[in-house]
């Protein structure tokens, strides 16, 4: 238990020092921003299709495209991956001819 406390304490002290502008060993990982509208157009899908594929509301996508909000967390990571490999979008979402979904009643 004491090791956990010390680890948390050290992390908080490093965070405070960093916030105060002091030199620390803190590593910052920044994920690049993505021009969502440009990416969506490059992929060649409508706003509705894009929002549905991402599991987000159309209004969220529209706010991203207008710059009113920015994607964060896993959405931003996924958008960066798609920006590098836009064909992945269609590969991931196109139904495969050999996929079969069988509904059973158990």
Identify the pLDDT of residue 36: 96
State the Cα–Cα distance between residues 35 and 57, nearest whole angstrom.
Answer: 18
pLDDT cut 70: percent of the chain above it: 86
The CATH number of domain 36-93 is 3.30.420.300: no
- What is the token pair recorded at 101? 């979904």
Identify the pLDDT of residue 97: 40
DSSP 67-106: TSS---HHHHHHHHHHHH-THHHHHHHSPPTT--------
The pTM score is 0.63
């Amino acid at each position: 238990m004491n090791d956990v406390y010390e680890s948390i304490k050290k992390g908080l002290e490093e965070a405070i020092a960093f916030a105060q502008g002091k030199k620390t060993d803190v590593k910052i990982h920044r994920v690049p921003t993505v021009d969502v509208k440009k990416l969506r157009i490059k992929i060649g899908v409508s706003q509705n299709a894009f929002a549905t594929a991402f599991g987000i509301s159309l209004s969220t996508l529209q706010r991203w495209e207008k710059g009113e909000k920015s994607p964060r967390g896993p959405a931003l990571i996924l958008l960066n991956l798609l920006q590098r490999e836009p064909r992945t979008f269609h590969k991931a979402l196109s139904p495969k001819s050999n996929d079969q979904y069988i509904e059973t009643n158990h």
